[in-house]
Amino acid sequence: MNKSIKIFAPATVANLSCGFDVLGCCLDTVGDEMIISLTSNPEVKITKIDGANLPLETHKNVAGVAVEALLKAYKKEIGVTIEIYKKIKAGSGIGSSAASSAGAVWAVNYLLDSPFSSQELIAFAMEGEKLASGNAHADNVAPALLGGFTLVRSYKPLDVIKLNTPKDLMITVIHPQIEVKTSDSRSVIKHNVSLQQAIQQWGNVGGLVAGLFTEDYELIGRSLEDVIIEPLRSILIPEFTAVKEAALSSGALGCGISGSGPSIFALSKGDKTATLVADAIRNVYSKTGLKFDIHISKINNDGIKIIEV
């Protein structure tokens, strides 16, 4: 049994336009680092957080809560210490809390010689998400844990499916460093939708899943359409329309809001196009006076990675 492990806990993009609350994918070049150790002292301790002002108290920290959910199911007395080197900015909309929750439970499971399945780890990590946002959603923790593209088919019971990842698929993400309150990004969403729009949306979900399996990049692009949430939420993101137009006219397959925003993602075929897309959206945002980060990444088909055992 290894006593300590250093891991890379990746950022993730949830929703992917049409797949509100069900689809997500995993990034490769953006993520936190975490050092997780087993101890004989039967408690969970956050011993260090670097790069972010987050609570060290276990029950207030998403990684702490997620690991406690795991240990409750494990039943044997064991202690865990967690160091978090935060590189994903909180509130960016690319799964900052999910990286911590998913990374922590993945590492503990590894150190315990994998008593739990991926589906079980997703459920534990969702407890962290519940702490972070009040809602135990899986659309970021699932791609962080499974890698690639994931579909949350059902929550009751939890049923998460790993989809196929076309090998040339690249993602470009812009994170405008503004704060969008979760309450605002929720309150713009309506509780009811027209059946007509719902049908369009599930047509696109079907198309996107089919496009991923058949590696039909054009179909993936055509399916990256959100007729329900994006028209409402995009008003909270400065220059969303200009960024989307710039991305599409630079060759992106599709472009939309990452999670609940404010980050915006674009999928492209090949790194050349992904870089052109990054240049084009940088050009839009550099005129705004707002601070922003831009990431280019291939889709990380592995999810969490071991840096050092």
Which parts of this chain interact with its own copies (CB under 8 A)?
A: 18-23, 151-154, 159, 161, 163-164, 189-196, 198-210, 213-214, 219, 222-223, 228
Nearer to its own copies, 212 or 277 (CB): 212
Contact 256, 265 (CB under 8 A): yes
Nearer to its own copies, 159 or 184 (CB): 159
Angle at 176 between CA 190 and CA 174, to 5 degrees: 95
Q: Structure tokens of 88?
A: 């994903």
Least distance from its own copies to the Cβ atom of residue 39, Å: 39
Nearer to its own copies, 161 or 236 (CB): 161
> Buried (b) or exposed (e) across 124-158, using 16+ Cβ within 10 A?
bbbbbbbbbbeebbbbbbbbbbbbbbbbbeeeeeb
Pairing of strands 169-176, 292-298: antiparallel
Angle at 148 between CA 87 and CA 200, to 5 degrees: 110
N- to C-terminal Cα distance for the chain? 11
Least distance from its own copies to the Cβ atom of residue 150, Å: 10
Least distance from its own copies to the Cβ atom of residue 157, Å: 9
Contact 36, 72 (CB under 8 A): no
Q: Is residue 169 classed as helix, strand or coil in its secondary structure?
A: strand
Nearer to its own copies, 181 or 186 (CB): 186
Least distance from its own copies to the Cβ atom of residue 75, Å: 29
Nearer to its own copies, 103 or 221 (CB): 221
The one-letter amino acid at 172: T
Known catalytic residues?
129, 182
Least distance from its own copies to the Cβ atom of residue 196, Å: 8
